[in-house]
Structure formats: C-alpha cells, structure tokens
Chains A and B, each alone.
Chain A
Amino acid sequence: MKKEIKIFIIDGKIEMDFEGFEGKTCQKEEDLFRLLLGKMGVKTEIKHSDNKEEEQHAQPELNANRQ
C-alpha cells in the first residue's frame, strides 16, 4: 500500500498529514519526523487523515501520549 505524506508550509509553520500508514507505522514515522525536525530547530504540527483518526480511536494508549 502506498504511503503518503502531505506537507503544507506557510507562515513559518508546518502541517503534515500522514495517509496509508497501517497501525503503529504511522506513529513511528511521525515520531521519527518530529524527532529529526526538532533536532534541526523546527517545530511541527501533525494533522492526521480520517483513517488515521479511526485507527487512533482503536488504540487510545497512543492518543494519551500526544502533545
């Protein structure tokens, strides 16, 4: 399955939308991105696709750790 990230940059902010990631692979990719960008001095705002939100509802322990 194709994994896709849509990224929008404006006014010094980043929005990232992850699609096509299954289960915890989405969280893993998001965390890796945030970790690397943070080390570069960049703050991120992550926005999830509808599918990801449904997966997240099924795994509330992941949501509980979100900022």
Chain B
Amino acid sequence: MSKIVILDSALAAPHIMSDALARLGTMDPATAKWAESVDVLPLIKEAAMNAVKSMKDKGVIVDSTIEDFRGHRVSDVDGRSFLATLKTDNFLSGMALIMEKDGTIKFAADDYGRVSEIRRLQEMYKNAFLQECIKMFLEIMGYKFTVTASPVKNSGNRDAMQGVYIQAEK
C-alpha cells in the first residue's frame, strides 16, 4: 500500500551514558557538570542541517516536500514538519528528515517499491550526521582536525559506501 510513514531506521534518541558520566564526575566534576547541562537540541539541529548541506555537496537534491507513490505531495507527516527532504535523480519522491521534540532525528517516506534507494539515503545521511557531530565536539574541545575519505571497509555489505577518516590532535 502506498502511504508516507515514519520509517523504522531512525538515529538513536538522545540519552545520557551513565557510566561515562559517573567516571567523568569522579575525575573532573566541573567538566561532567558542564557536559550534563549542555543544551543539545540546537546542536542537533545544527549538525542535522550541516549534514543536509554535506549531502547536497555530494549531489543529493535538497527540497522541502516528499510525494507518495501516487504523486500526492506533503510537507509534514502527522503535523511534524520536515527539517528538509532528500531526493536523487532515481528517487524524486524523496525522503524527509524530522526532528522530534526530544531531538531524535527520524526519516519519513513512502517506501513502496523504493526500499533500497531509501536505505542508501539513510546510510548516507547517518554517516554525514555522525561526521558533523564529531566535528562539532572536536572544535568545542579544542582539537585541530582534518577530514578525508577513507577506503570502503570489507564489511560484507555489497552496498557499503566510502567511509570518512578524521584525524584530530591538540
């Protein structure tokens, strides 16, 4: 059945890693307190939009609407507006990015007949988002860094994409 839905393969929900917080609190209470209190919602949105820009630079079409299989165009799903939508020449109906109130990034699309292209876009976006998060915190923590493409790892996944290698120092 053709219908635009929130897809299963979202990024994880923001969470506190209690073991890391406990150890950091013992070693450096001030830094632990700062890290715990950081308001990440604006940072998540910034990283999410930087990742969109990075995908645009790689040739992905960035838009604001998606279509279901029948060509019905929408700019939200269940009242949740889109951060952006991602399309390719082979997938013009597109996949939307939604940021929930708790900061979770989710994907929405009509995946009828388009599962493999959607998975490819999701993996591309996840890698881009992770890269933007890492770069953001490296800057905050005072590192200088370089970003380069790395060879594809032999993961057994025939659709595996090129990875990213970041070398940071201070």
Contacts and interface: CB of A to CB of B under 8 A. Distances in A.
Interface of A: 2-12, 14, 24, 27-43, 62, 65, 67
B121 to A, nearest CB: 12
Interface in B30-48: 31-32, 35-36, 38, 40, 43-44, 47
B116 interface: no
A42 B128 CA distance: 12
Highest count of chain A CB atoms <10 Å: which of B157, B160, B169: B169
Given A35-B20, A41-B14, A11 B123 contact: yes
Contacts of B36: 35
The secondary-structure label for the interface of chain A is: mixed
Interface stretch (B69-77, B85-93, B131-139): B131-139
A28 B103 contact: no
B153 A10 contact: yes
B17 A35 contact: yes
A6 B165 contact: yes
Given A2-B170, A28-B31, A35-B16, 16 more contacts: A5-B138, A5-B143, A5-B168, A6-B167, A8-B150, A10-B162, A12-B123, A28-B24, A32-B24, A36-B35, A37-B133, A37-B137, A41-B13, A42-B12, A42-B130, A42-B133
